[in-house]
């Protein structure tokens, strides 16, 4: 590559140092704090686009690699690098952070500098998670991320914020510690923490199963999969808008990323053996949680359950490929595409859900800032007073329901398509989401936006300001762009996913 | 070796002994009610001893006085830790006593003698020397707990500590006497040689071992020998609790390693089983009971019990250097724990005032509004104690679990991490009180500049160690010859 600029380090440390500097400025100069955080986040976003521009799509090898010895005795390195799986997620992170900073601009009154600093530090840590090639470095960022999120929900959250944030912390912490034990076990076998080395380690099926379960505990909580999803509605409802956005758009994606980076390549045989179990969990999430979403009275809760249901598609896409490959894990001629399609569909679904859920939470935030209620029953006829806003929400609601032309369609469609190759009943069950998703999203939309003006508070609503319009249009562009022309995203992922498919199709026992 | 050549290895201990005696005399004749001179002399002695230990840092092990005393890298590392920790303890304590006008010169003199006992424990190479060091330390600590004459709780704590401590010493001594009877030697390496030379299991040896393990468990505060810890921690003046919770833990670790690893490594299988039970019970009971505490000193006491469990877990691998780094993880753990414990009790001292001890959990409410900086330091300490990166506490737990996994006890590692998640709850609760709740009053924090500086550095040290733990890890592994 010949490039000397350490982009990945920049993406990790610039926001963290920026955040620390904001803490140092404090609340004395609020305007300066806002402008500075916006500047940092925009600069970080712009530098992350360099990743996209300079990314070599022809290879699955790690790119932009940085390597420095960290703890020599134990072979722990500060080792960064990205491939086709991590680049889209890093872009999603840096993009979302810009939105969150704009979204918090006028809304946050108390401890503004700490708020902005938390999000910037969080951004750096999340980039670290996606860019780490050393398992311990990965774990370091993975856990450290909990601290700013814990504070964001706890300090700026709603009435039950303490319960929600402690639940969030303990749930994710409990999941993660088993991953630590798994990593240390791998180290005791392998003598290395380099993730790509761990991919190559031969392991017996029993060992793989235990490792898979340990990783599953960490990632299933993050995704979240049924039945360990219960922290999510609480955390989402109580978190401030920015917190919900980051939770839904990025934190959940870490679970999916973990599956692709650790579970599948390290324990492919166990993944194949347990694929049925994983598919059942995913289908329960898709169907059952879809019904749960239908009956929610609280908009944020509804979107939270909708997230669980949509993330079910991600895990379904990742594990259904083992059904296509069959027990022998030979790839039947002509079906390599459907295997790749399942994984790419899952990835696509993650990115798309990142944009859509962020947009929906921001929309709820827009309404909440005006009326201070998230209850659907408190609204009605918003279209009369906020026409521009209603159009934006329309677009995002449609995208959430999976309307063709929006990004929500692409991922779901690919996953369903590849499920057909595996088993028609899986595909049928998964496809119910098209009905359910439309039902709960559009029904909510109808109750909130259409009809007569429900009460005086709604009658007094003002339409969105330029600031609000700006972040909603950014998201609208992203949702439409990915829906109409998703090719660039697939291009980035293609080499990496193909390599991954090749890797998981070979048994590792022995 | 001639006696003069051998005595060189004892220079730090002898220097401390002489200085402590001199300070005792100086203090008696000093008319200064502020005791500034005594304090400064005590600090000077500790710094001098620390420098002596560093200057005499041994490259390899030399045992002197008929192998009763050893000078090796392990002892040097432990001594440096003990001295450094005690220096910080003294500086926090001075602030504490000055605020309350209860400064007594004896506190520092007794403290110095306790440190002397700990140094001897760190270098002990025979069961007799271990016992000698232990008693010197314990007797000084009993007196320190009781120093607050007017206070009923302090007296109760002192009596409890003394009676139970004496009982534990007795049990330890009984175990030592049995081992002596079975092997005919007091010197640890000879004991080890005797044990490994035997052809069949010697019940008497294992019988003696049980009593020795009980003595160690008592001093470390492991369940079920932990009953004294909460009461003593709560009842003692906070400055004394601070001392009890830090340096003596390092010394107790030294005792455990000397007796179990140096003296009875061939009985590895036997003591390993006992330690597993002790450690799991301690982690379970400590973490669970801590949740229901309303007094921060009591809560930290139970947290100490839980950490003792983790520490014991780190001693398990012993000298299994074929698969990992043996007990180096435990050494790292105890050093990091001492720093964390210093900081946590330091914040309790910082918040306390003459008329109000600030040792209830409610006293932490809204600290982020009252003092953002020290709330941040406490946040850092709490997450570090919970073992969350990027703080040093994470690496401590990481290192111990890594060694436990390396010797194949994966289930033990899994249960250890479960208990640390349970433990995270009560540390998070402190953060919750500080950051999510409104303060009950906005009283300013008055503490000397020196105290503020020291405490800030104490907290930041954990952050720095969290980012660059390699150096300290290397020191810990070098002790085992890596």
CB distance from A184 to chain B under 8 Å? yes
Which residues in chain A are closer than 8 Å to B394, comparing Cβ atoms? 140, 143
Written as six digits, the tokens of A272 are 């194949």
Per the listing, tokens 């040290």 go with: B461
Return the closest-CA partner of residue A90 out of A5, A12, A171, A191.
Answer: A12
d(CA A341, CA A415): 7
Beta carbons within 8 Å of A280's beta carbon, 6+ residues apart = none
Other CB atoms within 10 Å distance of the CB of residue A388: 12
Q: What is the rounded radius of gyration, in angstroms, for the C-alpha atoms of chain A? A: 22
Q: Hey, are the CB atoms on B428 and A187 less than 8 Å from each other?
A: no
Preferred mutation among A146, A163, A180 to probe B, highest tally of B CBs within 10 A: A180
Q: Give the length of chain A.
A: 510
d(CA B340, CA B336): 6
Which residues in chain B are closer than 8 Å to A70, comparing Cβ atoms? 470
The pLDDT of residue A333 is 62
Low pLDDT (below 50) residues in chain B: none
The pLDDT of residue A87 is 92
Return the closest-CA partner of residue B412 out of B248, B273, B303.
Answer: B273
Instruction: Determine whether A5 is exposed, middle or buried from the number of CB atoms within 10 Å of its CB (0-12, 13-18, 19+).
Output: exposed
CB distance from A382 to chain B under 8 Å? no
E strands of A98-232, at which residues? none
Q: Hey, are the CB atoms on A155 and B436 less than 8 Å from each other?
A: yes
Name the residue facing A174 among B389, B413, B421 (closest C-beta): B421
d(CA B384, CA B461): 11
**Beta-carbon pairs below 8 A across chains A and B:** 88
CB distance from A20 to chain B under 8 Å? no
Q: Hey, are the CB atoms on B405 and A73 less than 8 Å from each other?
A: no
Return the closest-CA partner of residue B106 out of B232, B239, B10.
Answer: B239
Name the residue facing A71 among B413, B432, B473 (closest C-beta): B473
Helix (H/G/I), strand (E/B), else coil: B440:
coil
Helix (H/G/I), strand (E/B), else coil: B356:
strand
Written as six digits, the tokens of A193 are 């923490």
**B148 and B103 Cβ atoms separated by less than 8 Å:** no
CB distance from A155 to chain B under 8 Å? yes
Q: Hey, are the CB atoms on B436 and A161 less than 8 Å from each other?
A: yes
CB distance from B480 to chain A under 8 Å? no
d(CA A95, CA A41): 8
d(CA B456, CA B373): 8
d(CA B321, CA B174): 31
Name the residue facing B389 among A140, A154, A170 (closest C-beta): A140
Taking CA–CA distances from B389, the nearest residue in chain A reads A144
Distance from CA of B327 to the nearest CA of A (A): 15
The 10s digit of each residue's pLDDT in B49-92 is 999 999 998 888 888 888 899 999 999 999 999 999 999 999 99
d(CA B365, CA A154): 14
Which helix (H) or strand (E) covers residue A63, if one does? strand A63-71
The pLDDT of residue B199 is 72
Query: Using N-to-C axis directions, what is the helix angle for B247-256 and B328-351, rounded to 10°?
Result: 160
The pLDDT of residue A352 is 92
Which helix (H) or strand (E) covers residue B309, if one does? helix B296-315
Preferred mutation among B417, B471, B473, B474 to probe A, highest tally of A CBs within 10 A: B417
Which helix (H) or strand (E) covers residue B147, if one does? none
The 10s digit of each residue's pLDDT in A268-314 is 999 989 999 999 999 999 999 999 999 998 999 999 999 999 999 89
**B439 and B374 Cβ atoms separated by less than 8 Å:** no
**Cis peptide, bond prior to residue A224, ω within 30 of zero:** yes
The pLDDT of residue A2 is 46
Return the closest-CA partner of residue B173 out of B232, B114, B132, B142.
Answer: B132
Segment 41-80 of chain A within 8 Å of chain B by CB: 70-74
CB distance from B401 to chain A under 8 Å? yes
- Paired strand residues for A76: A71
d(CA A260, CA A491): 17
Phi, psi of A296 (to 5 degrees): -75, 145
Which residues in chain B are closer than 8 Å to A128, comparing Cβ atoms? none
Beta carbons within 8 Å of A378's beta carbon, 6+ residues apart = A371, A454, A455, A457, A458
Q: Hey, are the CB atoms on A187 and B402 less than 8 Å from each other?
A: yes
Distance from CA of A493 to the nearest CA of B (A): 31
d(CA A372, CA B99): 48
Instruction: Determine whether A360 is exposed, middle or buried from the number of CB atoms within 10 Å of its CB (0-12, 13-18, 19+).
Output: buried
Other CB atoms within 10 Å distance of the CB of residue A35: 12
Which residues in chain B are closer than 8 Å to A144, comparing Cβ atoms? 388-390
d(CA B106, CA B473): 36
Helix (H/G/I), strand (E/B), else coil: A67:
strand
The pLDDT of residue B99 is 83
Distance from CA of A185 to the nearest CA of B (A): 6
Return the closest-CA partner of residue A355 out of A453, A252, A468, A240.
Answer: A252
**A139 and A179 Cβ atoms separated by less than 8 Å:** yes
Q: Is the dihedral of CA A116, A118, A124, A126 positive or negative?
A: negative
Preferred mutation among B389, B424, B433 to probe A, highest tally of A CBs within 10 A: B389
CB distance from A190 to chain B under 8 Å? no
Taking CA–CA distances from B471, the nearest residue in chain A reads A71
Q: Taking the C-alpha atoms of B359, B364, B365 and B370 in order, what is their torsion angle to the nearest 10 degrees?
A: 130
CB distance from B467 to chain A under 8 Å? no
Helix (H/G/I), strand (E/B), else coil: A192:
coil
d(CA A308, CA B369): 37
**B85 and B77 Cβ atoms separated by less than 8 Å:** no
Return the closest-CA partner of residue A504 out of A129, A279, A200.
Answer: A200
The pLDDT of residue A184 is 93
Written as six digits, the tokens of A88 are 């889209």
Burial letters B386-415, b for 16+ CB under 10 A, else e: bbbbbbbbbbbbbbbbbbbbbbebbebbbb
Q: Hey, are the CB atoms on B414 and A178 less than 8 Å from each other?
A: yes
| Distance in angstroms between the alpha carbons of the first and the last residue of chain B | 28
The 10s digit of each residue's pLDDT in A59-112 is 888 888 898 999 888 889 999 999 989 999 999 999 999 999 988 888 888 888
Which residues in chain A are closer than 8 Å to B470, comparing Cβ atoms? 70-73
Distance from CA of A188 to the nearest CA of B (A): 6
**CA atoms within 13 A of residue B271's CA, in its CB half-sphere:** 29
Q: Hey, are the CB atoms on A151 and B414 less than 8 Å from each other?
A: no
CB distance from A453 to chain B under 8 Å? no
d(CA A291, CA A293): 5
**B257 and B143 Cβ atoms separated by less than 8 Å:** no
CB distance from A459 to chain B under 8 Å? no
Low pLDDT (below 50) residues in chain A: 1-2
The pLDDT of residue A335 is 67
**CA atoms within 13 A of residue A3's CA, in its CB half-sphere:** 15
- pTM for this structure? 0.93
Q: Hey, are the CB atoms on B405 and A185 less than 8 Å from each other?
A: yes
| Distance in angstroms between the alpha carbons of the first and the last residue of chain A | 37
């Amino acid at each position: 590559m010949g490039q000397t600029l350490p982009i990945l380090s920049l993406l990790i440390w610039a926001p963290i140092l920026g955040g620390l500097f904001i803490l140092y400025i404090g609340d004395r100069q609020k305007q300066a704090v806002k402008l500075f955080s916006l500047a940092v986040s925009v600069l970080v976003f712009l530098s992350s686009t360099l990743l996209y521009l300079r990314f070599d799509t022809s290879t699955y090898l790690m790119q932009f690699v940085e390597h420095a010895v960290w703890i020599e005795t134990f072979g722990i390195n500060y080792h960064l690098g990205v491939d086709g799986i991590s680049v889209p997620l890093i872009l999603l992170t840096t993009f979302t952070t810009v939105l969150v900073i704009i979204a918090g601009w006028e809304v946050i009154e108390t401890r503004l500098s700490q708020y902005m600093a938390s999000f910037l530090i969080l951004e750096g840590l999340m980039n670290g998670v996606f860019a780490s090639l050393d398992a311990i470095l990965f774990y370091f960022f993975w856990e450290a991320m909990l601290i700013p999120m814990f504070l964001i929900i706890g300090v700026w959250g709603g009435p039950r914020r303490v319960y929600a944030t402690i639940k969030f912390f303990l749930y994710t912490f409990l999941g993660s510690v088993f991953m630590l034990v798994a990593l240390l076990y791998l180290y005791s076998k392998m003598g290395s923490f380099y993730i790509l080395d761990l991919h190559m380690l031969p392991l017996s099926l029993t060992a793989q199963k235990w490792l898979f379960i340990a990783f599953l505990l960490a990632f299933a909580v993050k995704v979240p999969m049924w039945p360990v999803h219960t922290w999510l509605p609480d955390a989402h409802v109580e978190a401030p808008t920015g917190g919900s956005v980051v939770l839904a758009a990025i934190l959940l994606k870490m679970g999916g990323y973990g599956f692709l980076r650790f579970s599948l390549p390290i324990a492919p045989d166990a993944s194949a053996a347990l694929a049925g179990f994983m598919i059942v969990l995913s289908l329960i999430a898709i169907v059952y949680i879809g019904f749960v979403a239908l009956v929610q009275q609280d908009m944020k809760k509804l979107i939270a359950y909708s997230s669980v249901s949509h993330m079910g598609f991600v895990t379904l896409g990742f594990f259904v490929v083992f059904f296509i490959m069959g027990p022998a894990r030979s790839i039947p001629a002509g079906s390599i595409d459907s295997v790749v399609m399942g994984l790419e569909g899952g990835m696509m679904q993650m990115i798309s859900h990142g944009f859509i859920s962020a947009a929906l939470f921001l929309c709820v935030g827009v309404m909440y800032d005006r009326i201070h209620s998230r209850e659907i029953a408190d609204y009605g006829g918003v279209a009369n007073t906020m026409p521009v806003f209603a159009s934006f929400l329309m677009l995002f609601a449609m995208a959430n329901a999976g309307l063709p032309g929006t990004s929500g369609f692409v991922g779901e469609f690919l996953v369903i398509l590849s499920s057909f190759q595996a088993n028609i009943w899986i595909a049928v069950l998964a496809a119910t989401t098209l009905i359910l998703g439309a039902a709960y999203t559009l029904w909510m939309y109808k109750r909130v936006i259409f009809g007569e003006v429900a009460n005086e508070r709604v009658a007094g609503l003002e339409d969105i300001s330029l600031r609000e319009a700006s972040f909603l249009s950014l998201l609208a562009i992203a949702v439409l762009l990915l829906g109409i022309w998703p090719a660039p995203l697939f291009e980035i992922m293609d080499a990496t996913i193909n390599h991954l498919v090749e890797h998981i199709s070979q048994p590792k026992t022995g | 070796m001639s006696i003069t050549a051998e005595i060189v290895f004892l220079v730090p201990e002898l220097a401390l002994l002489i200085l402590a005696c001199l300070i005792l005399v100086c203090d008696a004749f000093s008319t200064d009610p502020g005791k500034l001179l005594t304090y400064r002399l005590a600090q000077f002695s500790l710094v001098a001893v620390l420098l002596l230990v560093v200057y005499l840092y041994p490259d390899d092990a030399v045992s002197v006085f008929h192998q009763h005393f050893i000078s090796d890298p392990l002892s040097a590392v432990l001594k440096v830790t003990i001295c450094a920790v005690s220096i910080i303890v003294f500086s926090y304590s001075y602030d504490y006593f000055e605020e309350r006008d209860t400064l007594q010169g004896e506190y520092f003199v007794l403290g110095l003698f306790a440190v002397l006992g700990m140094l001897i424990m760190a270098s002990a190479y025979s069961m007799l020397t271990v016992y000698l060091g232990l008693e010197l330390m314990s007797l000084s600590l009993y007196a320190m707990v009781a120093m607050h004459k007017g206070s009923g709780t302090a007296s109760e704590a002192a009596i409890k500590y003394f009676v139970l401590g004496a009982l534990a010493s007795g049990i330890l001594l009984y175990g030592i006497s049995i081992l002596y009877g079975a092997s005919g030697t007091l010197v640890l390496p000879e004991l080890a040689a005797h044990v490994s030379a035997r052809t069949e299991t010697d019940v008497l040896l294992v019988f003696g071992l049980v009593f020795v393990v009980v003595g160690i468990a008592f001093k470390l505060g492991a369940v079920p020998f932990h009953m004294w810890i909460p009461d003593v921690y709560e009842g003692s003046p906070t400055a004394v609790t601070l001392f009890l919770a830090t340096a003596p833990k390092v010394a107790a670790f030294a005792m455990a390693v000397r007796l179990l690893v140096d003296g009875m490594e061939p009985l590895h299988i036997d003591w390993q089983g006992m330690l597993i039970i002790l450690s799991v019970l301690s982690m379970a009971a400590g973490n669970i009971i801590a949740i229901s505490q309303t007094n921060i000193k009591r809560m930290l006491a139970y947290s100490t019990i839980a950490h003792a469990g983790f520490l014991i877990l780190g001693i398990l691998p012993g000298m299994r250097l074929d698969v990992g780094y043996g007990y180096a993880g435990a050494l790292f753990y105890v050093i990091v724990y001492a720093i964390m414990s210093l900081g946590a009790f330091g914040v309790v001292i910082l918040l306390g005032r003459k008329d109000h001890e600030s040792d209830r959990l409610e006293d932490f409410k809204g600290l982020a509004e009252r003092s953002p900086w020290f709330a941040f330091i406490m946040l850092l300490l709490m997450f570090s104690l919970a073992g969350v990166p990027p703080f040093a506490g994470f690496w401590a737990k990481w290192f111990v679990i890594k060694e436990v996994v390396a010797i194949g006890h994966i289930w033990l590692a899994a249960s250890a991490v479960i208990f640390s998640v349970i433990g995270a709850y009560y540390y998070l609760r402190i953060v919750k009180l500080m950051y999510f709740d409104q303060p009950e009053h906005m009283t300013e924090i008055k503490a000397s500049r020196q105290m503020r500086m020291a405490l800030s550095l104490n907290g930041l040290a954990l952050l720095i160690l969290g980012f660059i733990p390699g150096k300290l890890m290397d020191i810990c592994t070098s002790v085992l010859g890596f």
